[in-house]
A and B are shown apart, each in its own frame.
Chain A
Amino acid sequence: MAMTYLEAVRETLRQEMRRDARIIIYGEDVGVRGGVFRATEGLQEEFGEDRVMDSPLAESAIIGTAIGAAINGLRPVPEIQFADFIFPAVNQIVQEAARIRYRSNGTFGVPMVIRAPYGGGIHGALYHSQCIEAFFAHVPGLKVVMPATPYDVKGLLASSIEDEDPVLFLEHKGAYRSIRGEVPDERYLIPLGEAEVKREGTDLSIISWGMTVNSSLKAAENLAKEGVSVEVLDLRTIRPLDTEAILTTARKTGKVLVVHEDNLTGGFGGEVSALIAEHALFDLDAPIRRLAGPDVPAMPYAPSLEHAFLVTPEKIEAAARELAEF
């Protein structure tokens, strides 16, 4: 069935909740209102107020209590209303959820999925547009999942919920309604840590994750008309990271453009670039190129400024063309 990215989130949550009574959802406005983006719409009607709960407006409490609930046998899928507001909970996510298995020598674990809408391009300004993945990808013990398509949303969300460790599941707000795709009715799992070549190509590789995969595919399509063959690798999860897939595409085309919406310095693109430089430098025909958000504190509001910040298909196309000509 064709559906939007948002519908894929909701229908996967529904399907998983039907098969696993341990799953609970809570957060701000997720119950009666069905979430500010409607990701949980109708779930409280179907599963009741015990399984889909409106919680107090307190992110540390939402995540901190989810840790306890997970340890006591439930599968919490708490929602952080906007990724920008996850910071009050960082202590609970990084110091507690991520370290609990390690510090207890494997005797305790925290199976939970934190869903958070991230990213810009929806006039959300500084505090409703942020990309937060690099902060969390740095933390061993966490998993960070960033699907680009409705199909991947379904398989990755189901896998995340089944996972025995804490997962940060980042959904791009811009993708919610603009990205549609085929999603099978039956349940399927996509393993965490497996990248996917979303488009085959021979002249250069674009490596990306989340929403910018879609922008990269658009750019690749345009470049194909000019006779430039672009491979697009979608990492899908940045921790665990599919190192093999990264090196394979780098070796294959010899030219790599890493694309992300998060700002450049200290962004996850640096890690991808370093891996290639470490392991595949002599297979390259050009320096690794990074295209990312600018190093300003966050995305501004005015459409002109927002547009200037965003990593658009046009910018990707230009950067890829330049690299192809190198």
Chain B
Amino acid sequence: MADVSEGLTPEVLMDMYYHMVLARVLDDRMWVMNRLGRAPVVYSSNGHEATQVASAFALDRGHDWVVPYYRDLALVLAMGMTPRDVFLHLMGRADDPNSGGRQMPAHWGSVDLKILTTGSVVTTQMMHAAGIALAAKLKHEPTVAMATFGEGSTSQGDFHEALNFAAVMKLPAIFLNENNGYAISVPARKQMAVPDVAARAQGYGIPGVVVDGNDPIKVYEAVKAAAARARAGDGPTLIEAKTYRFVPHSSDDDDRAYRSREEVAEAKKHDPLLVFEQELRDQGLLDDAKHQAVLDRAKAAVDDATEFADTAPDPDPSTLGRHVYHEAVL
């Protein structure tokens, strides 16, 4: 089997770090826009950056598919979506590449980047990843499809049907659970009577792996191994990345109603950005000057995106009825 940390060169590690920082800075800016009344709703990847960025980097980006959910800002950035794209989407602009301003923010999708279009109904996407993997298998293409989802979503029937279907058909799929302990306000212990989502894998005859979702190296290795397994024709893997969301579920939520400030403060000690920064400093890849340079670069990109989307045109109301069905190219 391939060395799972293969590919983690200093350049790649720094690129991963940049994308994690970029996601955080962008996310923070989206909240500012919301509080200014410029963005009606925001969904964050804040706290999930290690899981999302590292999992994307472990795939063959541009070739493999990701089938995300609304939490995955950092993931889509790592797949190649730009801050401008994200802001066009946030502001519902005509040039939003995800949906042309049709969907709520955080409903990702890009044919070019192999990011499947996302709806709001949780867990349906797991089936789509299995289906993409089914086509890849039947076409004998070495493509992997990775679906992501929260732990609350594992209570849905589609979670179980997808795991079973993919396992029975030995599909090249990865099911990456981003377990942040809450589904809006409901804690994981009210979703399931087992401590780990990964334990579900056993019932479907596939590997279930628990990984520290705040450690990008660990996530990278787990996804790399799952992708190698998938490409070898050995079937899907369920990976559970244990992490935490540092902000409310969305800009409409108030998390003080269901978790203590102490709990959040404790979780922040394991902030993936801090964990990874320390790792890079230990490896001698990062110092104060380089750290500042990364921050400055991210901030510049986010400033540019904010400004760019601010003046971008809204969708033309006359387009309301378009793309209900395929439009023949004339």
| A binding-site residues for B, Cβ under 8 Å | 24, 50-51, 53, 55-56, 58, 60-61, 63-74, 76, 88, 91-92, 95-96, 99-109, 140-141, 143, 163-165
Contacts and interface: CB of A to CB of B under 8 A. Distances in A.
Contact of B109 (A64, A66, A108): A108
B116 interface: yes
A69 B134 contact: yes
Contacts of A56: 161, 164-165, 168
A64 B161 contact: yes
Interface of B: 65, 67, 96-103, 107, 109-111, 116-117, 119, 121, 124, 126-136, 138-139, 143, 145, 157-158, 161-162, 164-165, 168-169, 322-327
21 contacts: A24-B138, A56-B165, A58-B161, A64-B162, A65-B162, A68-B129, A68-B131, A69-B134, A71-B132, A71-B135, A72-B136, A72-B139, A72-B143, A73-B135, A73-B139, A74-B134, A103-B103, A104-B323, A106-B327, A107-B117, A163-B326
A61 B103 CA distance: 25
A71 B131 contact: yes
Contacts of A91: 121, 124, 158
Given A61-B162, A88-B157, 5 more contacts: A60-B157, A61-B161, A64-B127, A68-B131, A100-B117
Nearest to A99: B119
A49 to B, nearest CB: 10
B121 A108 contact: no
A105 to B, nearest CB: 3
A143 to B, nearest CB: 8
Contact of B107 (A50, A58, A103, A164): A103
Contacts, number: 149
Nearest to B94: A105
A54 to B, nearest CB: 10
Interface centre among B101, B128, B326 (most CB of A within 10 A): B128
A58 B164 contact: yes
A95 B100 contact: no
B327 A64 contact: no
B99 A104 contact: yes
Given A96-B119, A105-B102, A107-B109, A64 B158 contact: yes
Contact of B133 (A64, A68, A76): A68
